Amino acid sequence: MELHEDDHKTTPRALIGRQLRRRRTAGNLSQRALADAIGYPGSYISRVERDEQLPSEALARALDEHFGTLGLFADLRSMAEEALVAAYSQDFIDQESRAARIEVFTSSVIPGLLQTEHYARELITSGSPANIAAEIELRVQSRLNRQKMFERDTPPFFWAIFDEAALRRPVTSRSAMADQLRHLLRYASEVYTEVQVLPFGCGLHPFLGGSVTLLTMKDGSRKTSLVESFGTGLVIDTPRDLIDLEQRFDKARAQALSQTDSLALIRTYLKEYER
């Protein structure tokens, strides 16, 4: 049997490549033949087999359907996606998807749950070392998947506050930044969403240099929070610390512009990026 250098690896991504190679060869299929059968480029199949790229959700489903593997490739892909999430936030993101109320403050970027695909990709790329470049697209998709909670019949109430610096600091494409601001305005028009901007004129505020997310679960009694800065984070759920964070969030909310004035400021920036 042919040996490959990744045969000793047990990561979900390596297992995808290994399972794909084994099932393809067991069916006496070349990479080109498999690619033709499921409608994907042979080079794409090759990269997945060599553990150089994760399959998209669509490709994982196509492989499961072709090989009759009952969701194996889709499940391995989901595991690989979860493995890319920092350990400190894996459980928190699961709680986020079940929260009744989400309050977010970010100091210099648009909140993740309000980011467009282009904005998220540039942000993730700028903070990712070269050795994980192959996972950037999966990280982007993971962030976009989190936003699907807003498509539910009863989405969570979402309150976002962010520093004006997030509006002033653009992505490389002005048109993409304009798209991001239009995206913000669309979300802000929803009844379950509040958006506020903390203007430069307010001076110092309680969350300089970091971000915080506060979750209130559906029973109203259980709360937890995630504080992040420079790629690290800490989940906080002790009552005393939660009260301190809530006080800080309320102070930032009081310093921020009203939603009406915030949206007016966003529109002002939008006009600048559209020119």
CA 132 to centroid of chain Cα atoms: 16
In a domain, 25, yes or no: yes
Sign of CA dihedral 197, 189, 194, 81: negative
Residues 162, 58 share a domain: no
Q: Are residues 135 and 187 in the same domain?
A: yes
The residue ranking higher by pLDDT, 175 or 221, is: 175
CATH code at position 52: 1.10.260.40
Task: Give the range among 142-146, 156-160, 205-209 with minimum mean pLDDT.
Answer: 205-209
Domain region containing 44: 12-82
Q: Are residues 104 and 88 part of one domain?
A: yes
pLDDT of res. 3:
44
**In a shared domain, residues 145 and 71:** no
- Quote the CA–CA distance of 181 and 86 in Å, as a whole number: 28
Q: If you average pLDDT over residues 4-10, what whole number do you get?
A: 56
CB atoms within 10 A of CB 129: 6
Of 46, 61, 82, which one is at a domain's C-terminal end? 82
User: Is residue 44 in some structural domain?
Assistant: yes
**Do 130 and 261 share a structural domain?**
yes
What is the number of domains present in the chain? 2
Per-residue model confidence (pLDDT) at position 138: 76
Does residue 188 sit within a domain?
A: yes
185-221: pLDDT as tens digits = 999 999 999 999 999 988 787 777 778 999 998 887 6
User: Do 71 and 136 reside in the same domain of the chain?
Assistant: no
pLDDT digits (tens, 9 = 90+) for 15-50: 999 999 999 999 999 999 999 999 999 998 998 898
- The residue with tokens 């049997």 is 1
Q: State which of 67, 82, 97 marks the end of a domain.
A: 82
How far apart (Å, rounded) are the C-alpha atoms in residues 255 and 239? 24
DSSP class of residue 224?
E
For residue 151, the domain's CATH number is 3.30.870
Quick check: helix, strand or coil at residue 65?
helix
CA separation for the pair 174, 20 (Å, rounded)? 41
Supply the pLDDT for residue 2.
45
- pLDDT in the model for residue 1: 41
Cβ within 8 Å of residue 113, ≥6 positions away: 102, 104, 146, 147, 150, 158, 160
Whether residues 77 and 57 fall in one domain: yes
Spatial separation of the C-alpha atoms in residues 169 and 126, rounded to whole Å: 13
Q: Is the pLDDT of residue 236 over 50?
A: yes
Global pTM exceeds 0.75: no
Pairing mode of beta strands 157-163, 193-198: parallel
**167 falls within a domain:** yes
Determine, yes or no, domain membership for 7: no
Same domain for 73 and 155: no
The domain boundary, picked from 63, 82, 101, lies at: 82
Instruction: Check: CB of residue 118 under 8 Å from CB of residue 173.
Output: yes
What's the mean pLDDT in 143-160? 92
The answer to the question of residue 1 being in a domain is no
Residues 176 and 151 occupy one common structural domain: yes
The predicted-structure confidence for 49-106, as pLDDT tens digits, reads as follows: 988 777 888 899 999 999 999 999 988 887 776 665 555 566 788 888 889 999 999 9
The whole-number average pLDDT for the span 229-242 is: 79
In this structure, the answer to whether residues 118 and 19 fall within a common structural domain is no
Which of 126 and 255 is assigned the larger pLDDT? 255
Instruction: Quote the pLDDT of residue 126.
Output: 82
> Smallest Cα–Cα separation from 11: which of 63, 84, 68, 67?
84
Q: What percent of the chain has pLDDT over 90?
A: 55
Give yes or no: residues 225 and 188 share one domain.
yes
Contact 146, 112 (CB under 8 A): yes
196 and 247, same domain (yes or no):
yes
Rounded mean pLDDT of 134-149? 82
